[in-house]
Structure formats: C-alpha cells, structure tokens
Amino acid sequence: MTFLIAYGTTEGQTQKIVKTIANQIRELGHEVELFDTSNLQGDLQPETFDKIIVAGSVHEKRHQEALELFAMANHRQLQAKPTIFISVSLAAAFEDGLAEAQGYVDSFIEKTGWRPEQNLLVAGALRHGEYGYFKEQILKFFVLKNRKLKNPQIDHEFTDWNLLKNAVADFTQKNAEPVDV
C-alpha cells in the first residue's frame, strides 16, 4: 500500500513524530511519502495514495495555517480515503487538558470541512532553547497556565511513543492485504 503523510511543524516535534511513523510503516512493508505542507511548490495528488495521515501541532490554539489550507483544499480527496489526523499539543500532555486538545481538533474540522476517520491527540515537547522571550511568555501564561512542572527550566518531551506506535500499527493494518516483509 502507499501512504501519504502530510504535516505541519513549527519547532520540529511533529517532524520528528512523522519521520518515526514513516519508518514504522516502511518496516511494515509499505511505501510512504512525507509532504511538508509549508512547501507551496509541491505538486501533490492525495487521491493517488491508499491511506493518508495528516499531522500538525498547535500554537496559540490553532494548527499551522498551511496545514489548514492543505486540508481545506483537499477535503474531498481526504474524505474519500482512510485517514487519521494527529494533533500535537501541550494540552494533550495533561489529563485536564484533553478536552482543550480535542477542542483544537474540532475547530480544525470546522474550518477545513474535512472530517478525519480517526483523530489522535499526541503530547508534544517543550524546547526552551528555541523560543526566545515572547514564546516563553505565551507558554507560561497561556499554555501551561497553573500547571507546575518539576523542572520548568529544562526541555521536556511528553510524546507517548508507545501510544503512537500502536495507533499507527492499527491504522496501517486495518483492511490491509498481508505483505511480505
């Protein structure tokens, strides 16, 4: 089978996630094309793939604009395929943030008109060295809010790689013909 993974990333965690997923799917014997939606020159035909994964991260309560445009422009093609939407956020790292994380997905669906077959809320990362003063303030006051981290100065990767791996394995194998690997 052929898989398209279209993604948006701002500080790189979603890119790390999609590269890991791509390797996993290739190891299961399938072909994968990665497409960065910020690449406007891309000449991509989503309808030519068997299954599609769309992944992006949340900043200031929304996913990348380029990712929204990709989903909007291709919503009919996406709707016709087995799809999964992977939404990476910090809210998803906290039990009390899950409703908020799902809210970002609901707004994405409302804006783009594409209703993914499945969606997965994935916890992202904190990489202080890459933010600068303003991003740090946004994170502290609008994202983390009253949530206290043990070591707020150090980088954190909250991504649950096992959860991701299992979800991707299910999605890959669902209705798939057996392949020789």
**Which residue is it, tokens 């791509």?**
22
Instruction: Write the binding mask 59 to 98 for ligand FMN: x where contact by CB under 6 A, - elsewhere.
Output: xxx--------------------------xxxx-------
Among residues 66, 109, 139, 176, which is the contact residue for ligand FMN, using CB under 6 A?
139
HSE-up (13 A, CA, CB side) for residue 62: 12
Closest approach of Cβ 135 to ligand FMN, in Å? Answer: 4
Least Cα distance to 54 among 101, 122, 1, 152 occurs for: 122
Q: What share of the chain is helix, strand, coil (3-state, %, to 5)?
A: 45, 20, 35
Q: Where are the beta strands (DSSP E) in the chain?
A: 2-7, 31-36, 51-59, 62-63, 83-89, 118-123, 125-126, 156-157
Residue 124 in contact with ligand FMN, rule: CB under 6 A: yes
Nearer to ligand FMN (CB atom), residue 155 or residue 170? 155
**Residue 12 near ligand FMN by CB under 6 A:** yes
Min CB(23)–ligand FMN separation in Å: 17
Instruction: Point out the residue whose Cβ comes nearest to ligand FMN.
Output: 124
Phi, psi of 121 (to 5 degrees): -95, 120
The site for ligand FMN (CB under 6 A) is made up of 9-14, 57-61, 88-91, 124-126, 131, 135, 138-139, 143
